[in-house]
């Protein structure tokens, strides 16, 4: 299983039955393929609808996802304009947003929309999603292609939103962000703490045993 | 991805469902304009339940015997945030007698305040009310040489809506001028209950024609057939 | 012809083909019955539609005017919610609003929504209409039932909006408001200037002869 | 009252109509999201007309050969106000070369700014962008202990829209996700021209299903049949 698939599978386990979820372009889109069979979520697409589904059959005119690709529509879907789409997003009507990241820091800050002088695609809907969704999950590879850590004490790239990230899922570990520190919630199979620490640009706490009843997966994996 | 063939839950509830969400002192938004688009069965349920010290938020207090009028008469309402009370003399009498507090808000401003509350916005600048009593105590802001008032968001714990048709997933379609404030309030309350005249299977409403997405609606109640 | 009918007829002559018009409850509603046959206007109803028309045939559920009375819908009508209705009104998409008035003053101020300690119906949509419509026409009887003038130097009742009235039409005369003065545009047949002045609580200018080519009706009536 | 049997004007115009409304240096809003919901025939007409120094306002600059992409490539655009340029590398290259100014606006903020421009509002307070580069130079306001940015209205001289269907009176119906910014822009421009795939007689669209009221639309152009 490659890193991206591993990350997508793990993120999928964070979703609950009935959640309204927005999945970003790229890696987060994969999450849709790994949902547990006993839950049903409603996918919101920021270009203007709920009920995003995989394309089955012929593409329908005008029915595309937020990446502009033809997609399907689940029964019970509903279309709306961009003001309504972002009223839903900003107004807290989206339970979970899953986005890729360039950097996340221990204060819950996320940077994922530009690299000055290099790559300036624009923020699209990301700033609204990170600001407005009830829960923000960042799904990203643990380090850059050059091996530089993406989890940092302080982001160096321009922020998408401040102090909004709840959870970071990488191929190595799962961290929560709270009170200015990362907390290690889970280590991926075969990864040891020393390796993780070496590849992480910030210190982190271990989930306390006292809280372990909330963190069964950590207990079982460590 | 969500399977399209798994069991689809229905949001259809029995009329008593409303009782679980009522409590004294709560804020309730109600759809409707002169009673048109107001869920009369849900209003009757609040009357039967007897919750008191309510704050009602809606366009107007309708007439003594329709819309939310009966709730005004029953003495369950402590405060109303509305644009117009002229068609219900009971509201005016109770206001002058000090039995009901009435906050009058220009209709367009009321719509925007509710929209802000539902859309995560902190407020909106409107020219409406500048130079009138409505401006008292409000922050003013010059934009491009024109004066605006800062109007703040409104939210409620419960919204009661009326729609013509729903599917089991809660997607709503309104009919004619009964739409009015209903779609705005669907965004702006912690709990949203819609009274509908007809419920169809999920998938039977063209997604382009949905006026309130089902994710905003918690429960559906069937209006009594006449 | 009674005073109200006379006022409504005169206001109707101010409307132009293609205008989007909002008519207030009461006297202004009568304007719809006196439109010249060669113009077509689109009536906006602030409870949420364009295409307001007289009721013909059976009432339709939910189809009522802003007074809550059953009405009809012209071909090409369109329904919307209250936010959109007032986006149209506030955003300058309504060409003319015609409202009743309690008082109008020479500064273009209108008072028509409350009499302190006496009658407090609320402003409904009036404040937005007077603030947002491109042209504000007040249609009212010249004096109160007690004979007190309604056209004043300064309104004594709480304002609906400041400096927004373009034209006042009464059964005695038509005034425009501009630069802090009323200008008499027209005298009704059989009314003389002395009578008008006696019943008007503010001074007024006469429309200048030089501008008379814009004011054919004044020339012909005086 | 307006006679329902008088002649009904049609807003249908020939494709050259757009030429009367174009001029150098103007601001143009365009509907569409990654080109879906963008009036491609009107874009082509702007290309042919050759108007220069344009400011474009819209969600994104699509792809080099679709949506408004060709206008970026043609050099007619001086400035873009948009949320995303990542799918059109030409925009990025011209921005880095100093040939096009790009104002990046969060997508939800762009929607609200256009809505403000069309709804007569002076601005809106949004939490989006607080603590980021987007906040630079903007007024901040604390409401209930939370920080918001004041975002200002956007308007244009011309809006070019795409809809699935119109009636002769200009009432518009959009299809699926091609709706996006189109209904907002219909409110926010001095002149509104919609490219539509189909025109039906006035009265044939159910008034409940109209998504943009005809009074907002000045001219209709038929999309070329494919």
Task: Kindly report the pTM of this predicted structure.
Answer: 0.96
Measured torsion, CA atoms of residues D5, D9, D11, D14, in degrees rounded to the nearest 10: 130
What is the per-residue pLDDT for A209?
Answer: 60
CB–CB contact B146 D116 (8 Å): no
- Return the bridge partners of C176, or none: C167, C183
pLDDT in tens, D152-192: 999 999 999 999 999 999 999 999 999 999 999 999 999 99
* Structure confidence at residue A190 (pLDDT): 94
Query: Does residue B68 carry a pLDDT above 50?
Result: yes
B23 assigned to some structural domain = yes
Residue C67 predicted with pLDDT over 70: yes
Find the mean pLDDT for residues B20-29.
Answer: 98
- For residue B8, what pLDDT band results from cuts at 50, 70 and 90? low
Whole-angstrom distance, CA of residue A65 vs CA of residue C41: 41
D104, D108, D126 member nearest A125 (Cβ): D108
How close are the terminal C-alpha atoms of chain A, in Å?
Answer: 20
Taking an 8 Å cut-off on Cβ atoms, the answer to whether D174 and B208 are in contact is yes
Q: Angle, to 10 degrees, between the axis of helix D107-119 and the axis of helix A82-90?
A: 120
Task: Provide, rounded to the nearest whole percent, the portion of chain B with pLDDT above 70.
Answer: 96
For chain A, residues with pLDDT lower than 70 are 208-222
**C178 vs C217: which has the higher pLDDT:** C178
- Report the pLDDT value the prediction gives residue C209, as an integer from 0 to 100: 61
User: Contact at 8 Å (CB) between D144 and B150?
Assistant: no
Residue D83 has pLDDT above 50, yes or no: yes
Phi and psi dihedrals of D62, rounded to 5? Answer: 55, -140
Residue B3 pLDDT > 70: no
Is the reported ipTM for this assembly greater than 0.85?
A: yes
Q: Does residue C81 lie within any of the structural domains?
A: no
Q: What is the DSSP letter of B223?
A: P
- Any domain includes D69: yes
Distance from the Cα of C136 to chain D's closest Cα (Å) equals 16
Structural domain contains residue A213:
yes
Partners of B28 in beta bridges: B56, B158
Contact A109, A115 (CB under 8 A): no
B198-212 tens-digit pLDDT = 999 999 999 999 999
**Residue D22 belongs to domain spanning:** 2-110+153-222
Nearest partner of B30 among B47, B13, B11, B16, judged by Cα: B47
Confidence of residue C1 (pLDDT cuts 50, 70, 90): confident
Task: Work out the pLDDT band at B4, boundaries 50, 70, 90.
Answer: very low
What domain range is C132 assigned to? 3-28+93-220
Burial B109-137 (b: 16+ CB within 10 A, else e): bbbbbbbbbbbbbbbbbbbbbbbbebbee
- The pLDDT score that the predictor gives to residue B7 is 45
Q: Rounded to whole angstroms, how far apart are CA atoms C47 and B146?
A: 27
The chain D residue lying nearest A125, using CA atoms, is: D107
Rounded to an integer, what distance in angstroms lies between the CA atom of residue A116 and that of residue B152?
36
Which 3-state string (H, E, C) describes C17-53? CCCEEEECCCHHHHHHHHCCCCCCCEEEECCCEEEEE
What tens digit of pLDDT does each residue of D131-148 get? 999 999 999 999 999 999
Q: Indicate whether B20 belongs to any domain.
A: yes
Residues of B in contact with A78 (CB under 8 A): 171, 207, 210, 213-214
**Residue A28 main-chain phi, psi, to 5 deg:** -55, -30
CA angle B107, B111, B114 (to 5 degrees): 135
Structure tokens at D33: 């999201």
Q: Are A86 and A48 in contact (CB under 8 A)?
A: no
- Whether residue C21 contacts residue C29, with contact meaning beta carbons closer than 8 Å, is answered with no
Gap between the Cα atoms of D34 and A66, Å rounded = 8
| A36 Cβ under 8 Å from any chain B Cβ | no
Contact of A71 with chain B, judged by CB distance below 8 Å, is answered with no
- Report how many domains make up chain D: 1
In a domain, A160, yes or no: yes
Binary contact (B119, A80; C-beta < 8 A): no
In a domain, D82, yes or no: yes
User: Largest alpha-carbon pair distance within chain B?
Assistant: 59
Q: Which of B196, B188, B190 is nearest to B161 (CA)?
A: B196
User: Does residue D2 have a pLDDT over 60?
Assistant: no
- In angstroms, the Cα distances linking A90 to A53, C87, D146, D164, D216 are 22, 20, 14, 28, 27
Structure confidence at residue B225 (pLDDT): 61
Considering chain B, what is the average pLDDT of its residues?
Answer: 95
> Is residue D59 domain-resident?
yes
CB atoms within 10 A of CB C137: 25
Catalytic member of A46, A171, A185, A186: A46
Residue among C64, C126, C131 whose CB faces B36 most closely: C64
Distance from CA of A24 to the nearest CA of B (A): 14
DSSP B47-74: HHHT--SEEEESSB--BTTBTTHHHHHT
Residues A42/A50, Cβ–Cβ less than 8 Å: yes
Rounded distance between C-alpha atoms, residue B104 and residue D22, angstroms? 45
The whole-angstrom separation of Cα C24 and Cα B116 is: 27
Mutate to test the interface with A, among D107, D131, D133, D159 (most CBs of A within 10 A): D107
Helices (H) and strands (E) in chain B — how many of each?
5, 11
Facing C75 at nearest CB: one of D121, D202, D208: D202
From the candidates C14, C46, C171, C186, give the one annotated as an active-site residue. C46
pLDDT (tens digit per residue) in C106-125? 999 999 999 998 889 999 99
**DSSP secondary structure of chain A:** --HHHHHHHHHHTT--TT-EEEE-SSHHHHGGGG--TT---EEEETTTEEEEE---SSPPTT-B-TTS-B-EEEEEEEE--HHHHHHHHHTT--SEEEE--SEEETTS-EE-S-BTTTB----TTHHHHHHHSSEEEEE--SB-TTS-BSEESS--SPPSBSS---EEE-SSEEEEEETTEEEEEEE-TT--HHHHHHT-BS-EEEPPGGGGGG-HHHHHH-
pLDDT at A220: 33
DSSP letters, D163-225, are EEEEETT--EE--GGG-TTHHHHTTSEEEEEEEEEEEE-TT-S-GGG-SB-GGG--EEEEPPP
Residue B1 pLDDT class (50, 70, 90 cuts): very low
CATH of the domain at D102: 3.40.1080.10
Q: Which is it for the CA torsion D51, D53, D57, D58, positive or negative?
A: positive
pLDDT at B15: 87
Does the residue B192 lie in any domain?
A: yes
What CATH code is carried by the domain that includes residue A121? 3.40.1080.10
Distance, CA of D107 to CA of A209 (rounded, Å): 42
In this structure, is residue C150 part of a structural domain?
A: yes
Comparing CA positions, the residue from D39, D49, D44, D94 lying closest to residue D70 is: D44
- Provide the number of structural domains found in chain C: 1
Cβ neighbours of D179 in B, within 8 Å = 208
C128 pLDDT band (50/70/90 cuts)? very high
Residues of C in contact with B33 (CB under 8 A): 47-48, 64, 66, 68, 82
What are the Cα distances from residue D185, in Å, to A59, B74, C18, C130, D84? Answer: 27, 46, 21, 24, 18
Q: What is the DSSP letter of B12?
A: B
Question: D7 pLDDT band (50/70/90 cuts)?
Answer: very low
Contact A162 D130 (CB under 8 A): yes
Structure-token pair, residue A139 = 């799904």
Confidence (pLDDT) at A212: 44
The model's pLDDT over B78-120, given as tens digits with 9 standing for 90+, comes to: 999 999 999 999 999 999 999 999 999 999 999 999 999 999 9
The rounded radius of gyration (Å) of the Cα atoms in chain A is: 17
- Partner D contacted by C33 (CB < 8 A): yes
CA distance D189 to D51: 18
């Amino acid at each position: 299983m490659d890193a991206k698939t591993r990350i997508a599978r793990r993120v999928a386990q964070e979703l609950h039955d009935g959640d309204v979820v927005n999945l970003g372009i790229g890696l987060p889109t994969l999450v849709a393929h790994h949902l547990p069979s006993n839950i049903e979520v409603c996918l919101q697409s920021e270009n203007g609808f709920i009920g995003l589904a995989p394309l089955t059959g012929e593409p329908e005119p005008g029915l595309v996802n937020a990446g502009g690709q033809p997609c399907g529509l689940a029964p019970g879907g509903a279309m709306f304009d961009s003001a309504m789409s972002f009223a839903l997003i900003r107004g807290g009507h989206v339970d979970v947003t899953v986005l890729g990241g360039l950097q996340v820091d221990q204060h819950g800050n996320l940077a994922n929309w530009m690299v000055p002088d290099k790559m300036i695609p624009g923020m699209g809907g990301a700033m609204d999603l990170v600001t407005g969704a009830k829960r923000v999950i960042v799904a990203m590879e643990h380090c850059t292609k050059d091996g530089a850590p993406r989890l940092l004490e302080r982001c160096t790239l321009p922020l998408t939103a401040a102090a909004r990230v709840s959870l970071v899922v990488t191929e190595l570990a799962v961290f929560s962000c709270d009170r200015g520190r990362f907390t290690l919630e889970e280590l991926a199979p075969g990864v040891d703490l020393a390796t993780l620490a070496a590849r992480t640009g910030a210190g982190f706490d271990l989930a306390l045993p006292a809280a372990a009843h909330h963190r069964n997966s950590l207990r079982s994996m460590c | 991805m969500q399977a399209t063939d798994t069991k689809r839950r229905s949001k259809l509830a029995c009329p008593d469902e409303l009782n679980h969400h009522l409590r004294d002192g709560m804020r309730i938004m109600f759809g409707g304009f002169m009673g048109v688009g107001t869920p009369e069965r849900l209003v009757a349920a609040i009357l039967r339940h007897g919750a008191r010290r309510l704050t009602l938020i809606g366009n107007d207090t309708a007439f003594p015997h329709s819309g939310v009028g009966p709730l005004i008469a029953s003495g369950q309402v402590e405060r109303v945030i509305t644009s117009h009370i002229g068609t219900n003399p009971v509201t005016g009498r109770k206001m002058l007698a000090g039995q009901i507090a009435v906050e009058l808000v220009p209709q367009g401003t009321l719509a925007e305040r509710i929209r802000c509350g539902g859309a995560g916005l902190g407020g909106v600048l409107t020219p409406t009310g500048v130079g009138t009593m409505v401006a008292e105590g409000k922050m003013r802001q010059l934009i491009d040489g024109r004066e605006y008032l800062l109007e703040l968001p409104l939210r409620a714990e419960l919204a009661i809506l009326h729609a013509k048709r729903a599917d089991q997933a809660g997607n709503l379609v309104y009919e004619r001028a009964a739409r009015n404030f209903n779609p705005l309030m669907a965004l702006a309350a912690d709990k949203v209950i819609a009274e509908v005249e007809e419920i169809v299977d999920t998938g039977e409403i063209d997604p382009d024609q949905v006026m309130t997405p089902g994710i905003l609606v918690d429960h559906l109640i069937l209006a009594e057939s006449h």
